[in-house]
Amino acid sequence: MNDMVFNRLVSNALISFSILFWSCGDNDHTIKMKGSDTEVNLAVNLAEAYNQTDPAFSMAISGGGSGLGITSLLNGQADIANSSRPLTEEEQTLFKKKNIRLKTVVFAEDATAFVVHGDNPITEIDVKTLAKIMSGQAENWAPISGQDGPINIYGRQSSSGTYSFIRKKLKIAYSQKAKEMTGNAQILEAIKIDKSGIGYVGAGYISKKIQDNEGVKVLKIKNGGGSDAISPLDPAAIKNGLYFFQRPLYQFIPEKSWDKVLPFIQFETKGEGMKIIENSGYYLIH
């Protein structure tokens, strides 16, 4: 594919994840949430629902990656950092140096899905082969799918928690040819127009509407010779911890913001909030 055409198509598909919910409430009811692109759609859905229960509630939500959210907390620019990974030792040290005490909420679980173009003949892939692909060791689809063609990798920037998660799970260094995309939606749009593409997205970004997923195939993942291939869209498998790329989703909150955000935290971890988590394509913590 011509790089100029590709860049133009992807550019046209970019979606901004900066969402604002404003009401007539005072500043004590304004919450700034930043971070994980994996969590941003879910955060928007939860905020919309909570806004109906509290007219004074207002929230500013933006994505950009787990690292960005955590940095925003360090700089005093957020009340909640969404993160699809735990804090690193270096980040923990920085918070201690700044005397910022955090509360941690694990409010949902995600299953990272690997996706290919709908015309790709494969339906599943094993972890060992996936590691070869993502590291650049395997560069052609022929021995994997039987169809000759270069493998084009679509991933996230290094500030993304999903970027770190996949790298650690596969125990690899990413191929230098991997294209770094700004978000999950951009990866999906790229895969739809690239028959040689493979990428990873949060399962919550895989729509339950078949027509929205046209052009994209979600691969089942096989871990080891004797194991079954597991789909990231299989709730029973996720509940039993069988999917190789499942993980908890975090929210880090400075103690000074805790009283302000607590009503929202209670909403998202109980009753209606739990239903929204499931309906948005994410999973409950078991």
Domain range summary for the chain, segments of one domain joined by +: 16-109+249-279, 111-239
Residues 183-203 have a mean pLDDT of 95
Per-residue pLDDT of 219-264, as tens digits, reads 999 997 667 999 999 999 999 999 999 999 999 999 999 999 999 9
User: pLDDT at residue 2 above 90?
Assistant: no
User: pLDDT at residue 173 above 50?
Assistant: yes
List of residues 6+ apart from 249 with CB closer than 8 A = 36, 38, 39, 42, 82, 83, 84, 106, 107, 108, 109, 110, 282
Q: What is the pLDDT of residue 120?
A: 97
pTM: 0.84
User: pLDDT at residue 209 above 90?
Assistant: no
Yes or no: say if 197 and 133 are a contact pair by the CB < 8 Å rule.
no
User: pLDDT at residue 21 above 70?
Assistant: no
User: pLDDT at residue 212 above 80?
Assistant: no
Q: What is the pLDDT of residue 268?
A: 95
Q: Which residue is it, tokens 């918070």?
A: 95
E strand or H helix at 83: strand 80-83
Residues 111-140 have a mean pLDDT of 97
Neighbour tally for 112: CB within 10 Å: 22
Q: What is the pLDDT of residue 20?
A: 46
Q: 247-257 burial, b if ≥16 CB within 10 A, otherwise e?
A: bebbbbbbeeb
Residues 22-45 have a mean pLDDT of 78
Round the CA-based radius of gyration of the chain to a whole number and report it.
19
Residues 282-286 have a mean pLDDT of 87
Where residue 25 falls among pLDDT bands split at 50, 70, 90? Answer: very low
Q: What is the mean pLDDT of the chain?
A: 88
The SS3 call for residue 155 is strand
Fold for the domain defined by 16-109+249-279: D-Maltodextrin-Binding Protein; domain 2 (3.40.190)
Does 16-109+249-279 match 111-239 in CATH topology? yes
* Residue among 51, 35, 111 at smallest CA distance from 280: 111
Yes or no: say if 114 and 200 are a contact pair by the CB < 8 Å rule.
yes
Q: Is the CATH number of domain 111-239 3.40.190.10?
A: yes
